[in-house]
Chain A
Amino acid sequence: MNSDAPIWRRLQPFVATVLVVVLIGVPLWLVVVTAGKSQGEALNPDLSLPSDWQLWTNLKSVWSEGDVPAAFFGSLLVVVPTVAGVLTFGSMAAWVLARRTTRLNAALYALAISGIVLPPAVVTVVLLLRQLGLAGTAVGMIGVYMGIYMSTVVFFVTGFVRTIPASLEEAAQIDGAGPFTVFRRVVLPMLRPVLATATILICLYVWNDVFYAFFVVGGRLDTLPLNLFRVASAGLYLNNWHLIFAYVILMSLPLVAVFAVAQRRIIAGITSGAVK
């Protein structure tokens, strides 16, 4: 593309590799070797190899003592309905907002996407959930997450819908389809790319969230990040770095696995959705 000086062309891969090793490799290496050490060796986490690999033991003890399966299902229980709900309702709203360009809708659109930037009111959400009787429940947590990320979906989908020709919808209407059918058969399939982007981003945020989960479910329902918070707080007290990092490994595996499998699509999804 550019007229690269030949020196740079030969140097560049070397520079890239060094950067990856130093910036990414070192921290990840620390996690893995510390997770493989015994408590005594892990007291001061450093980059040295363990004298005796205890990775499997540590992973096992964290798995059972740290209640990982329960936390994993807790995370799933919260993430899946959130993503499904926010995509469905968000795109429904975005579709109408994009097509019917009234002044009211312009105002509603502004309101709907304000949540992208504005921070959620976390303390009063607790109060509200208590009043609704939803405090500490999965339903309450799902509701809160949907409230937070609805704006993201509306934002992405509205922009995308405007690029879909209305003639396609008209054709279906002429054939006698009602709005719901038009939405389901014509619009939704065309929204796949942007819905994929939104899914990836929202999954990422919700799966790793600890702040809101802490206030809303804090302890009654376990999610992976909340559990990490608990394990690490206890672990730091007892200098159990090996357990903390074993947990970090367990916790990161699902997302990293998904990423490894679908990385091309994920990268394409993020870039296409973001650069509008």
Chain B
Amino acid sequence: MTPASAPRRGRGAINRGTHPMWFLAPAFAILLVFFFLPTVFNFVYAFTDWSGFKAQINPVGFDNFEELASSGTLFRALRTTVVYAVLVAVFQNLFGFALAVLLERDTWVNRLARIFFLVPVLMSALAVGYIFQALLKPEGSVNQLIGAVTGHTFDYAWLGDTTWTIVVVAAIHGWKWMGLSMLIYLAGLKTIPEDLMEAARIDGASRWHTFWRIRSPLLAPAVTFNVATALLGSMNGFDIVQATTGGGPARTTEILNIFIYRTFGQGLFAQATTMSLILFLLVALMAFPVIYLLRRRERVL
């Protein structure tokens, strides 16, 4: 086997004959039909009055958007989704990072702990939602435990607060995925060369100092990956919210996909499509600045 060398980019070496374009065909056909075409449809049907109540579909211009905006639904759903996504990104990374730092050394206790923290990642998000619905009932286990520790009965409705439940649900989402973030941070931590740490220690730097000034900046690629995927991925969330609150109480946790599910069920397909389009635009518009900012931080450091 020839040792790894820079690939030759000679004119004759890689061309139509050796790397034919038709290799791209199946993948792009699938992408086109099952991903891009529906997305394009989104742009079309959001401007119609498509519903489950009649067969004809007529164009209605921006009516759906106006209606959703004027009833406050549009902004509420957008705000809820963005808040949820930001909270998830924060929680997931905080928990994952903390776990990675805690369990960094390869002792058997740590290895076992890492495996346990990966179990939620494997479970269905819907199942996780139901588990926490049971745990967080006013008379559920969490309150019982708190009551046992504090000595008074505690019956706060974790999933019934119109202001704070969204934080709780985002934390649950973070709980489910923190194992994955932990793994990625662990891998990142391991790539930091030992001699760098040695040098710092010899120079008399404290543990805290080495951590913040040397190790964390070098984790920037891992942070980029984790924050970007958590933030953008959770905007497309559904399972956990549906299984814990179903969008309640009083629609305060109704992220975009829950709204889409609900209006679709009511036969209001055009409204569901409009929101689907809005979700698409939201993610597309947020993806660029988020990734840009994170990549820039990487380069600087």
Contact = CB atoms under 8 A, between A and B. Distances in A.
Interface of A: 1-5, 12-13, 15-17, 19-20, 23-28, 30-31, 34, 44-47, 85, 88-90, 92-93, 95-97, 99-101, 108, 111-112, 115, 117-125, 127-128, 143-144, 146-148, 150-151, 154, 163, 165-171, 173, 179, 182-183, 204, 207-208, 210-211, 214-215, 224-225, 228-229, 232, 241, 244-245, 248, 251-252, 255-256, 259, 263, 267, 270-272, 274-276
Given A2-B197, A270-B183, A119 B236 contact: yes
Contact of A96 (B21, B222, B279, B284): B21
B187 A20 contact: no
B144 to A, nearest CB: 6
A232 B130 contact: yes
A251 B125 CA distance: 12
Contacts of B114: 267
Given A127-B45, A204-B121, A225-B126, 9 more contacts: A93-B26, A96-B20, A119-B236, A122-B38, A150-B35, A151-B35, A228-B124, A232-B130, A275-B187
Most buried by B among A4, A154, A163, A179: A179
B222 A168 contact: no
Contact of A99 (B19, B116, B124): B19
B115 interface: yes
28 contacts: A2-B211, A13-B110, A16-B113, A26-B135, A30-B134, A45-B141, A47-B141, A93-B27, A100-B19, A108-B24, A112-B31, A115-B35, A117-B283, A117-B287, A118-B284, A119-B279, A119-B283, A120-B39, A124-B38, A143-B34, A146-B30, A154-B27, A165-B4, A179-B20, A204-B121, A208-B125, A274-B225, A275-B222
Nearest to A90: B27
A103 B79 CA distance: 38
A271 B280 contact: no
B154 interface: no
Contact of B28 (A23, A112, A248, A267): A112
A256 B280 contact: no
B183 A271 contact: yes
Contact of A1 (B24, B116, B184, B197): B197
Contact of B7 (A121, A127, A165): A165
A218 B10 CA distance: 53
Contact of A13 (B107, B235, B264): B107
Nearest to B102: A16
Nearest to B228: A117
B270 to A, nearest CB: 9
Interface of B: 1-2, 4-5, 7-9, 13-15, 17-21, 23-24, 26-28, 30-31, 33-35, 37-39, 41-42, 45, 99, 102-105, 107, 109-110, 112-127, 130-132, 134-135, 137, 139-141, 144-145, 175, 180, 183-184, 186-188, 191, 194, 197, 201, 207, 210-211, 221-222, 225, 228, 232, 235-236, 238-239, 243, 257, 260-261, 264, 269, 272-273, 276-277, 279-280, 283-284, 287
A211 B257 contact: yes
Contacts of B188: 275
SS class, residues of chain A in contact with chain B: helix
Contact of B273 (A90, A97, A124): A124
B239 to A, nearest CB: 6
A111 B37 CA distance: 13
Contacts of A204: 121-122
A214 B110 CA distance: 39
A272 B210 CA distance: 25
A93 B24 contact: yes
Contacts of A111: 31
B283 A167 contact: no
Contacts of A167: 2, 5, 7-8
Given A1-B197, A150-B30, A123 B109 contact: no
Contacts of A163: 4
B23 A143 contact: no
Given A147-B30, A147-B34, A210-B238, A123 B130 contact: no
Given A24-B117, A121-B41, A232-B243, A171 B27 contact: no
Contacts of A170: 8, 13
Nearest to B134: A45
Contact of B118 (A2, A108, A267, A274): A267
Interface centre among A5, A122, A124, A276 (most CB of B within 10 A): A124
Given A27-B131, A259-B118, A93 B38 contact: no
B182 to A, nearest CB: 10
Given A4-B207, A47-B144, A228-B124, A123 B264 contact: yes
Contacts of A244: 130
Contacts of A208: 123-126, 239
Nearest to B237: A211
Given A1-B105, A146-B30, A179-B20, A123 B273 contact: yes
A108 to B, nearest CB: 7
A117 B234 CA distance: 10
A112 B175 CA distance: 31
A14 B196 CA distance: 29
Contacts of B21: 96, 100
